[in-house]
Amino acid sequence: MIYLDNAATGGFKPNSVIETTVSAVKYLNANPGRSGHRLSKTGAEFIYSARKKVSEFFNNGEIDRVIFTKNCSEGLNIAIHGVIGKGDHVITTCFEHNSVLRPLFTLESKGIISLTIIYPENKKCVTVKEIENALLPNTKLVIVNHISNVTGSINNVKSIGEFLRGKNLLFMVDGAQSAGHVKIDMQKFNIDILSVAGHKGLYAIQGSGALIFNKRVDISPTYQGGTGTESFNTFQPNCYPEKLEVGTLNLPAICSLEEGIRYVENSLDYLEIRLYEMTEYLIKKLSAIDKVKIYSSPNPAGIVAFSIENLSSIEGAERLSNEFDIAVRGGFHCAPLMHKFLGTDDEGLIRVSISAHNTKRDLFLLVSAVKTICSF
């Protein structure tokens, strides 16, 4: 199989990640931090080390404000439901995934929040001016998708963050498709809240993710439960990370996340350039095929979205899988407004998502397959 669905789940895991995970599964079967014995303490040390690594990698300045989640969606939900109150106004964009849109639409439909969704005029990315125009006195939260999971298009979260600095609101970024692909410096970019997936660009296993925030942020816990601390407190402890981490932590996944970050942290520039060049190459080759329409520009997330004339994206992806054993994704990618924005809400888009470990041969075979499909 040629695996080009890395934006869904990264298909390549480094040996270091696999070995770390396997070691945890085999030799670290104890509840980290819950008991005082050697193995529990060792687990707690691994958790702390991973928390420190995540904090340093995204530079939030606060180790204890890294919350381990099971996936990116969970982090987005914890934050959205935990910071928004009755009467707040929220600004977001048409680039967002349903993991941002559905919580917001739910809160809007209950009359808790009002919502402004920006459809950028330049058809590419949200501008600072558009954010500025959307601001209201009661704006509490601005949520921006860093890199689109549909097209790979990038919002300039650094400029937006700099503009929002000093304002009485929170700036939240969905880093599902950017973490591990481009540098995210929360302090420099003035990002208050960031949610990331472990199993995509960060090379960790499924079940890993993190919600990362700074001292300006207070998140009310949606779920409550055992933390191994303050047993007699009938409410959730009011300190981080315990406030937002309920129940047994997933040690193998958390260890894999630290190891995945170790894998990318020193080669981020290389990975960024490689994927930019790979997407550039693929876009050039696919553009040359009649019937193919491209919806992406070269990008460091490795995403290239396209359509084939008179063929639904679901069918196109299915043919690539069935006839050529090439794994891509068709459909709407849980981002409904993006398709309305692009005018692809009828047939969706075929999304190719490349990892730095794919080869030009993989792309060559994909292009050949698309050519074959288009030639009939």
Of the chain, the end-to-end C-alpha distance in Å amounts to 23
Within residues 205-234, the interface with a copy of itself by CB under 8 A covers 205-207, 222-228, 231-232, 234
Question: Cα–Cα distance between 313 and 349 in angstroms, integer?
Answer: 5
Q: Which residue among 40, 116, 159, 312 contacts a copy of itself (CB under 8 A)?
A: 40
**39 interacts with a copy of itself by CB under 8 A:** yes
Site map 52..81 versus a copy of itself, x via CB under 8 A: ------------------xxxxx-xx---x
User: Nearest distance from residue 128's CB to a copy of itself, in Å?
Assistant: 27
Q: Tokens representing 305?
A: 């979205």
Question: Cα–Cα distance between 194 and 365 in angstroms, integer?
Answer: 36
Q: Which residue among 112, 128, 135, 246 contacts a copy of itself (CB under 8 A)?
A: 246
Site map 110..149 versus a copy of itself, x via CB under 8 A: ----------------------------------------
| Contact range with a copy of itself by CB under 8 A, out of 34-42, 87-95, 124-132, 292-300 | 34-42
Greatest Cα-to-Cα distance within the chain, rounded to the nearest angstrom = 70
Are 201 and 163 in contact by the 8 Å Cβ rule? The answer is: no
Closer residue to a copy of itself (CB): 36 or 166:
36
Q: Which residue among 330, 362, 366, 370 contacts a copy of itself (CB under 8 A)?
A: 330
Considering only CA atoms, which of 300, 295, 333 is closest in space to residue 314? 333
DSSP state of 242: G
Site map 254..273 versus a copy of itself, x via CB under 8 A: --------------------
Within residues 78-117, the interface with a copy of itself by CB under 8 A covers 81, 97-103, 105-106, 109
Q: Which residues contact 322 (CB under 8 A, 6 or more apart)?
A: none
Cis upstream peptide for 32 (omega within 30°) = no
**365 interacts with a copy of itself by CB under 8 A:** no
| Contact range with a copy of itself by CB under 8 A, out of 120-128, 180-188, 299-307, 316-324 | 316-324
Question: Cα–Cα distance between 274 and 280 in angstroms, integer?
Answer: 10
User: Nearest distance from residue 190's CB to a copy of itself, in Å?
Assistant: 26
**342 interacts with a copy of itself by CB under 8 A:** no
Closer residue to a copy of itself (CB): 5 or 276:
5
Question: Cα–Cα distance between 75 and 68 in angstroms, integer?
Answer: 8
Q: Virtual CA dihedral for 76, 81, 85, 91, nearest 10 degrees?
A: 30
Question: Cα–Cα distance between 353 and 330 in angstroms, integer?
Answer: 11
**253 interacts with a copy of itself by CB under 8 A:** yes
Question: Cα–Cα distance between 111 and 183 in angstroms, integer?
Answer: 37
